[in-house]
Structure 1
Amino acid sequence: MIVETYPNIYRLEIPLPNNPLKALNSYIIKSEDKNLIIDTGFNRKECKDTLMKGLKNLNIDLNNSYLLITHLHSDHSGLAAALNQEGVKVYAGEVDGKMINEMSGEKYWERFDEFKVLFDLDKDNISFDDHPGYKYCPKEPIDFVSLQEGNILNVGNYHLEVVDIPGHTPGHIGLYEKKHKLFFGGDHILDSITPNIAFWGFDEDILDTYFKSLNKIYNYDIKTVFPSHRKIVRNHKKRINELLEHHGKRLEEIKEILKDNKMTVRDVASKMHWDLRHNSWEDFPNPQKWFASGEAMSHLEHLVCIGEVDKNIENGRLFYKLI
């Protein structure tokens, strides 16, 4: 389905089969000189067919078009290599662009075997083979044009400023159109669902990074946020307050779970509340166990950083306990 959400700005809904996210909002900004496509969907036939059909219906000439990837996740970057091979110039932030190219090789994914033990997920006998990030990411390196905060992309009457908004991923970027008060936010601010904040390494408190990015955007003069999933956001300050409150409750929930025992990441995740239609942790599909454990881990590490939780490693597994 294609909807003109603003003059010459179109939302193309790309299905994400068998995924709780259901669909990706790809945005196409048209002009007489060139067009900008924002995000692509998975690297799979259903997504490519929908994207190419939508571009055709909008009379988009790929020779006069550019692609911007807001962040590394495969539902956003999956078809970037295919479009790049068609001659489309592909933009991304420097951090996530580099990681997308790393994802096209096996070495990047071998770290998931380490995380499987560290998180205690090996007791669920899972692997990364059915992880959508692995299955549907670009399989060839991409010749990215790296963007820095403050760069401007001019498309017709729109002057889109690159904004760094790390948190959902380490190098997530958005586009801010100051004159029209528009913000293309990727997965930074979502409504009716909350962005997954995962674990990316011990060198950064990624949840705190996300909080800072939310507070940064809070002060922008924005009338409309164009998110990558679900509905358009008309009151970004209200939604940011709700997201901050959500994560505050998450942190309290985890402290309550840890009240009496030290626990692994997997066991904390299994006791958290998730808005999924499954009766127990055992019923969770393997990809959702990865996502849930990653989110539990980011919150546990934040609690460690602020001095409320302690951790230690036993037999290669992380254990957390309330101080």
Structure 2
Amino acid sequence: MLKKVYPNIYVNEIPLPNNPLKALNSYIIVSDDNSLIIDTGFNLKECKDALMQGIKELNIDLKKTNLFITHLHSDHSGLAYDLAKEGVKVYASKIDGKMINDSIKDEFWEFYDSYIKLFGLEQDNMLLSDNPGYRYTQENPVDFIIVGEGYKFLVGDYSFEVVDIPGHTPGQIGLYEKNHKLFFCGDHILDRITPNIAFWGFEQDILAVYFRNLRKVYEYDIDYLFTSHRNIITDHRKRIDELLEHHEHRLDEILNIINNKKMTPRDIAANMHWDIRAKDWDDFPRPQKWFAVGEAVSHLEHLWSTGKVQKFNENGVLYYELKK
């Protein structure tokens, strides 16, 4: 479904079948000389049909069109290869672009089984095929044009500047239009729901990275924050304050759950509050268990890096307990 949201800017709502996010906001900016598409939807027929219908309605020449991928998740990048085949130039960050192309190889997913044991998830019968990143990604590599902080896209009267905003993924990027006070933020900030801040490796405190980039965007002068899911945000500072508060509550919740016990990430996540239609942890869909544990670990690693918990490996399983 196509809707005009600002002069020469349209949101193309892409359905995400059997996914709690329900839909992706793919944006299209048009001009007489060129066009810019932001994100695509899954590599699924339903997504492609909706994407191409919006493109058809706007009578876009794909050979004069650029595609900007905000981040690696397959609901944002799954149709990049299909558009590239039609002559579209595809732009992504160095980190996420590489991960998108790596994800078509089976070797990329070897981490999945190792983390299932490490995080204590073996009892939950987790399957790689449950992961939407594995199921709905593109099938061929894309010749990405790599962009980062400061790169500019000129579309009609608009001048969009790339902003590095990692956290939700290691290489998420957004687009800021200073003159019109517009920001396309991918999944960095969402309305009504909170972006999943998952675990991306022990090399960095990804939650601290996310906090830093929330505060970065806080300083921008923005009238309209165009998000990838749910609603457009018109008070980005208020929403950022809410997100920061949410994560502080999450950190306190985890400390209270651990109390004086040693616990696996799986058992900690199973005791956390989640806004999901499930009676209990056993009723969780398997993909949501993976996302929940990933978010639990990102918070646990932040608590570890700030000296509030300690961790140890026992027989190949990771445990956390309060710092003594």
Give the Cα separation in 2 of the matches to 1:88 and 1:221. Answer: 31
Equivalent residue of 1:26, what SS?
A: strand
Equivalent runs, 1:131-142 vs 2, <5 Å: 131-142=131-142
Q: Residue 250 in 1 paired to residue 250 in 2?
A: yes
Residue 286 of structure 2 corresponds to 286
Give the Cα separation in 1 of the matches to 2:242 and 2:67. Answer: 31
Give the Cα separation in 2 of the matches to 1:105 and 1:85. Answer: 20
Residue 99 of structure 1 corresponds to 99
1:176 to partner: Cα distance: 0.3
1:63 to partner: Cα distance: 1.2
Equivalent residue of 2:185, what SS?
A: strand
Give the Cα separation in 1 of the matches to 2:255 and 2:193. Answer: 23
Equivalent residue of 1:201, what SS?
A: coil
Residue 166 of structure 1 corresponds to 166
1:44 to partner: Cα distance: 0.6
Residue 149 of structure 1 corresponds to 149
Give the Cα separation in 1 of the matches to 2:317 and 2:85. Answer: 42
Residue 33 of structure 1 corresponds to 33
CA RMSD of aligned residues (A): 0.6
Give the Cα separation in 2 of the matches to 1:86 and 1:108. Answer: 27
Q: How many pairs does the alignment contain?
A: 323
Contact between 1:40 and 1:80, CA under 8 Å: does it hold in 2?
Answer: yes
Partner amino acid, structure 1, of 2:85? Q
Give the Cα separation in 2 of the matches to 1:301 and 1:218. Answer: 24
Q: Residue 309 in 1 paired to residue 318 in 2?
A: no
Give the Cα separation in 1 of the matches to 2:148 and 2:299. Answer: 28
Taking structure 2 as the reference length, what is the TM-score of the superposition?
A: 0.99
Equivalent residue of 2:163, what SS?
A: strand
Q: Residue 300 in 1 paired to residue 297 in 2?
A: no
1:148 to partner: Cα distance: 1.6
Q: Residue 115 in 1 paired to residue 115 in 2?
A: yes
Q: Residue 58 in 1 paired to residue 58 in 2?
A: yes
Moved more, 169-178 or 121-130: 121-130
Q: Which runs of 5+ in 2 are unaligned?
A: none
Give the Cα separation in 2 of the matches to 1:300 and 1:129. Answer: 26
Equivalent residue of 1:169, what SS?
A: coil
Residue 11 of structure 1 corresponds to 11
Moved >3 Å (runs of 4+): none
1:130 to partner: Cα distance: 1.6
Give the Cα separation in 2 of the matches to 1:204 and 1:128. Answer: 25
Residue 227 of structure 1 corresponds to 227
Contact between 1:105 and 1:139, CA under 8 Å: does it hold in 2?
Answer: no
* 1:123-165 deviations in Å (ceiling 9; x for gaps): 1111211210100011111000000200111011100000000
Contact between 1:126 and 1:286, CA under 8 Å: does it hold in 2?
Answer: yes
1:260 to partner: Cα distance: 2.6
Give the Cα separation in 2 of the matches to 1:2 and 1:39. Answer: 14
Partner amino acid, structure 2, of 1:122? E
Give the Cα separation in 2 of the matches to 1:156 and 1:109. Answer: 41
Contact between 1:29 and 1:37, CA under 8 Å: does it hold in 2?
Answer: yes
Taking structure 1 as the reference length, what is the TM-score of the superposition?
A: 0.99
1:236 to partner: Cα distance: 0.3
* 1:246-279 deviations in Å (ceiling 9; x for gaps): 0000000000000031100000000000000000
Give the Cα separation in 1 of the matches to 2:88 and 2:243. Answer: 35
Partner amino acid, structure 2, of 1:63? K
* 1:180-233 deviations in Å (ceiling 9; x for gaps): 000000000101000000000000000000000000000001111000000000
Give the Cα separation in 1 of the matches to 2:204 and 2:228. Answer: 25
Residue 215 of structure 1 corresponds to 215
Give the Cα separation in 2 of the matches to 1:184 and 1:70. Answer: 9
Equivalent residue of 1:319, what SS?
A: strand
Give the Cα separation in 1 of the matches to 2:316 and 2:183. Answer: 43
Equivalent runs, 1:172-191 vs 2, <5 Å: 172-191=172-191
Partner amino acid, structure 1, of 2:111? R
